[in-house]
Amino acid sequence: MGCRGAGRARAGVRRLGLLLAAALVAAGGILYVLETEPAWYARLRYPLRYEQIVVGHAKNYRLAAPLLAAVIYQESKFDPNAKSAQGAIGLMQLLPGTAEGIASRTGGARFVVADLYDPELNVRYGAWYLRHLLDKYGDERTALAAYNAGQGQVDEWRSNGEGIVFAETRAYVARVERLKRIYARAYASELAVG
C-alpha cells in the first residue's frame, strides 16, 4: 500500500473514531435526559391539557392539582374520548354507574352517559370521586388503589389485613405517584405548586 492508501486508511480510522465518539456523547446525553427528566423533556413527554379545568376542580375538591393531572394522564393521557374495554369513559375513565351516583350526590338533575365525554363534567365527577376516596381511606395510596381496583376490592383487602394485593394496582399507584411528582415539577406555575 502506498503513502496515499495509508493516509486514506488513517483518515478513515479517524473519521470512524470521531463518529463513534459523537455517538457515545449523543447516547450519554439521551440517557441523561431519560434518567433526570428535566422539565422541558417532561413537558414534551407528559402534556398538560385542560389546565383551567384541572386547577379549578382541584381547588374546589381540595386536591393537589398535580395529583389530579397525574390521574388524568394515567387514565386517558388527556384524551376526552377515551373509552376502556370495561366501559370507563373520558379523561378520568369513569364507569357510567359510578358517574351517575356522583351526579345524584352532587346535585345533578339528569345524568346521561354522553356527559362523560365532556372534559369539564368528567373532571368534576372524577375530582369529587377522588376526594371521596381520600376522605374515606385517609391516605393517597389507598385512595388511588380504590380508584383503580374499586372500593369493594380495597375494603376486602383491608378487612383481611392485606395491603394492595393486585400487582397491577400496585403498579398503577406507583405510576400515579411518580406522575404527580413529574407534573408538580414540570408544571409548577400552571398547577400553582410551590
Q: What is the DSSP string of 96-146?
A: HHHHHHHHHHTT-S---GGGGGSHHHHHHHHHHHHHHHHHHHSSHHHHHHH
Please give the torsion angle defined by the CA atoms of residues 140, 154, 158 and 162, in that order, rounded to the nearest 10 degrees.
Answer: -90
- Using pLDDT thresholds of 50, 70 and 90, give the confidence band for residue 31: low
Instruction: Answer yes or no: is 193 within a domain.
Output: no
Same domain, 114 and 150: yes
Strand partners, 83: 89
In this predicted structure, the answer to whether residue 3 has a pLDDT above a threshold of 70 is no
* pLDDT, position 38: 77
Same domain, 29 and 91: no
* pLDDT, position 10: 75
- Using pLDDT thresholds of 50, 70 and 90, give the confidence band for residue 103: very high
**Mean pLDDT over residues 134-156, rounded?**
98
Same domain, 13 and 66: no
* pLDDT, position 109: 72
Task: For the chain, report the end-to-end CA distance as a whole number of angstroms.
Answer: 69
164, 173 in Cβ contact below 8 A?
Answer: yes
Other Cβ atoms within 10 Å of 151 Cβ, number: 17
Same domain, 55 and 77: yes
Q: How would you label 135-146 residue by residue, b for 16+ Cβ within 10 Å and e otherwise?
A: eebeebebbbbb
- The residue range of the domain holding 87 is 49-186
Query: What is the DSSP secondary structure assignment for residue 46, as one 8-state letter?
Result: S
**Mean pLDDT over residues 104-123, rounded?**
91
Q: Catalytic amino acids?
A: 75
Same domain, 99 and 179: yes
Q: Determine the 3-state secondary structure of 156 from DSSP.
A: helix
Same domain, 25 and 116: no
In this predicted structure, the answer to whether residue 132 has a pLDDT above a threshold of 90 is yes
Q: Which amino acid is at 63?
A: L
* pLDDT, position 161: 95
Strand partners, 94: 89
* pLDDT, position 13: 72
- Using pLDDT thresholds of 50, 70 and 90, give the confidence band for residue 25: low
d(CA 110, CA 25): 60
Instruction: Answer yes or no: is 73 within a domain.
Output: yes
Instruction: Answer yes or no: is 191 within a domain.
Output: no
**Mean pLDDT over residues 54-73, rounded?**
98
185, 39 in Cβ contact below 8 A?
Answer: yes
- Using pLDDT thresholds of 50, 70 and 90, give the confidence band for residue 30: low
**How does the average pLDDT of the chain come out, rounded?**
89
d(CA 60, CA 186): 22
d(CA 55, CA 124): 11
- Residue with the bigger pLDDT between 175 and 26: it is 175
